[in-house]
A and B are shown apart, each in its own frame.
Chain A
Amino acid sequence: MIKKFLCLLFFLCLASCAANVSERPLALDFSSPRKKDLLRQRVEAFWRYMIQGDLERAYSFYDPFFRAKMDVKEFVVKHQTVKYKKAEFIDAKIEGNIAKVKVKVTYYIPKIKVINRTFSVPETTKEFEETWLFIGDNWYRQYIFGLTGKGVVYY
Chain B
Amino acid sequence: MFFKRKSQIIGLIIVLLFPLSAAALSIKETVHPEVIALKHHYYLRISPDNRFWFLYADSKDQLWLEDFLHKKRYLVNESPKGVLSSPNIALNDKKIFVIWREKGPEGKILYFRAFNFKTNSWEAPKILDKDSAPLNRNAIQVQGEKVFVVWYGEAENRYAIYVTYSLNNGKTFSPTKKLTPDDYKSRYFSLFAAEGKVYVFGEEISPEKRQMALYQWAAKAWNREMVSPCGVVVLLIKPFLLTEKLGVVWFQFGQETHQPQTVWALKENSIWQTGIFKELEGIELSGLQVAFDGERVLLALSGLKRLPSGEKVTKNDLWVYFSENGESWVGPLRVRTYPFKNTHAKKPKVALAGKKALIAWEDYRFIRSNICFNYSLDAGKTWQKEDTCLSRPGFHNSRVPWLENNLFFYDGKFYFLGHRFESDALAKPHLLFLEIEL
Please tell me if B410 contacts chain A, counting CB pairs below 8 Å. Answer: no
Which residue of B9, B367, B424 contacts A134 across the interface (Cβ within 8 Å)? B367
The winner among B3, B19, B392, B424 for most chain A CB atoms within 10 A is B424
A135-B394, A154-B364 known; A10 vs B424 contact (CB < 8 Å) = no
- Note all chain B residues with C-beta closer than 8 A to A27: 366, 393-394
- Scan B1-24; emit 1 where CB is below 8 A from any A CB, else 0: 011000001001100110110000
- Note all chain B residues with C-beta closer than 8 A to A136: 368, 394-395
Shortest Cβ distance from A17 into B: residue: B19
CA distance A67 to B424 in the complex (A): 8
CA distance A97 to B17 in the complex (A): 31
CA distance A61 to B343 in the complex (A): 21
For the complex formed, measure the closest distance between the CB of B77 and the CB atoms of chain A, giving whole angstroms: 32
A68 touches B424 (CB 8 A): yes
A97 touches B367 (CB 8 A): yes
Please tell me if A20 contacts chain B, counting CB pairs below 8 Å. Answer: yes
For the complex formed, measure the closest distance between the CB of B307 and the CB atoms of chain A, giving whole angstroms: 16
Shortest Cβ distance from A64 into B: residue: B424
Shortest Cβ distance from A27 into B: residue: B394
The winner among A20, A136, A137, A155 for most chain B CB atoms within 10 A is A155
Please tell me if A28 contacts chain B, counting CB pairs below 8 Å. Answer: yes
Shortest Cβ distance from A95 into B: residue: B340
CA distance A98 to B315 in the complex (A): 14
B9 touches A135 (CB 8 A): no
Please tell me if A113 contacts chain B, counting CB pairs below 8 Å. Answer: no
- Note all chain A residues with C-beta closer than 8 A to B424: 64-65, 67-68
- Scan A92-104; emit 1 where CB is below 8 A from any B CB, else 0: 0001111000000
- Scan B392-430; emit 1 where CB is below 8 A from any A CB, else 0: 111100000000000000000000000000011110000
- Note all chain B residues with C-beta closer than 8 A to A69: 425
For the complex formed, measure the closest distance between the CB of A12 and the CB atoms of chain B, giving whole angstroms: 8
The winner among B20, B366, B392 for most chain A CB atoms within 10 A is B366
B17 touches A2 (CB 8 A): no
- Scan A49-87; emit 1 where CB is below 8 A from any B CB, else 0: 000000000000001110111000000000000000000
- Scan A13-28; emit 1 where CB is below 8 A from any B CB, else 0: 1001100100001011
A3 touches B423 (CB 8 A): no
- Note all chain A residues with C-beta closer than 8 A to B394: 25, 27, 97, 134-137
A135 touches B2 (CB 8 A): no
CA distance A3 to B1 in the complex (A): 10
- Scan B55-83; emit 1 where CB is below 8 A from any A CB, else 0: 00000000000000000000000000000
- Note all chain A residues with C-beta closer than 8 A to B395: 136-137
B2 touches A16 (CB 8 A): no
CA distance A135 to B397 in the complex (A): 11
Shortest Cβ distance from B392 into A: residue: A25
Give residues 332-388 of B contacting A (CB, 8 Å): 338-340, 342-344, 364-368
Shortest Cβ distance from A137 into B: residue: B394
Please tell me if A153 contacts chain B, counting CB pairs below 8 Å. Answer: yes
For the complex formed, measure the closest distance between the CB of A39 and the CB atoms of chain B, giving whole angstroms: 14
A95-B342, A96-B340 known; A9 vs B16 contact (CB < 8 Å) = yes
26 A-B contacts (beta carbon < 8 Å) = A6-B13, A9-B17, A13-B17, A13-B20, A20-B19, A25-B392, A27-B366, A27-B393, A28-B393, A30-B339, A30-B340, A63-B367, A65-B424, A67-B424, A95-B340, A96-B339, A97-B343, A97-B365, A97-B366, A133-B367, A134-B366, A134-B394, A135-B368, A136-B395, A137-B394, A155-B343
List 12 additional contacts besides A25-B392, A27-B393; criterion CB under 8 Å. A2-B2, A6-B3, A10-B16, A13-B17, A30-B339, A64-B424, A68-B423, A96-B340, A134-B366, A134-B394, A137-B395, A155-B344
Top 7 closest A-B pairs, CB basis?
A68-B425, A27-B394, A155-B364, A68-B424, A64-B424, A136-B394, A13-B16
Residues on B lying within 8 angstroms of A by beta carbon are 2-3, 9, 12-13, 16-17, 19-20, 338-340, 342-344, 364-368, 392-395, 423-426
